[in-house]
Amino acid sequence: MKSVSMSGSLRESVGKKDAKAQRNQGFIPCVIYGGQEQMQFVVEESQFRQLLFTPEVKYVELEVGGKKFEAVVQATQWHPITDKLLHVDFLEITDGKPVTIGIPVVITGTSPGVLRGGKLVKKVRKLTVKGLLKDIPEMITVDISNLEINDMIKISDLAIPNLTFMENPGAVIISVASTRNVVEAQ
């Protein structure tokens, strides 16, 4: 999995007034937890572009107050009207402790069912997996080369070593639905 480097500075005071003042100066209030200590800090808003505004999943190499951390984004808060980033929660990654994260699903191949007039239905864009950071892939690739009309691929059909899928194993990821202009197989 790719990483992004970010640096921040510790917050002296916490609260609504301080957070609002930090946002007005172009900083985003953040917190990191999951390790030995919880830490409140701010990061420049521009540093989040390469982390949040991309379909790729990345982990963060944070430098705050002279200390370095590896973390993943746990939660984000957005303004309901302006869609401006308000707050970010980071979860510190510790060795030997599994991480739960959403991984994008990428489709490869050409389905014979789609070539005959079926409709490809992608039900899931991301799958939540749990595993060690070193075992988590950048994306989950699903090959649709064998999908005929009315065939589907479920989560239980995927096998990625050292990872646990957090969704229902019977959930459909991709299917080829029948349409009115389907050409019958000869």
Give the Cα separation of 71 and 135 in Å (integer): 15
**Phi first, then psi: what are they for 122, rounded to 5°?**
-100, 110
Looking at the predicted structure, is the pLDDT value of residue 60 above 80?
Answer: yes
Cα-to-chain-centroid distance, residue 57: 5
Nearest residue to 112 via CA among 146, 142, 150: 146
pLDDT for 30 equals 92
pLDDT at residue number 108 = 93
pTM, whole model, 2 decimals?
A: 0.77
Q: Model confidence at 184, in pLDDT bands (50, 70, 90)?
A: low
> CB-based burial of residue 31 (10 Å sphere; 0-12 exposed, 13-18 middle, 19+ buried)?
middle
Q: Which two tokens stand for residue 165?
A: 């899928």
Choose among 16, 128, 13, 27: nearest CA to 72.
128
pLDDT score of 38: 87
Q: How many CB atoms are closer than 10 A to CB 93?
A: 18
Q: What is the pLDDT of residues 103-131, one digit of tens each?
A: 999 999 999 988 888 899 999 999 999 99
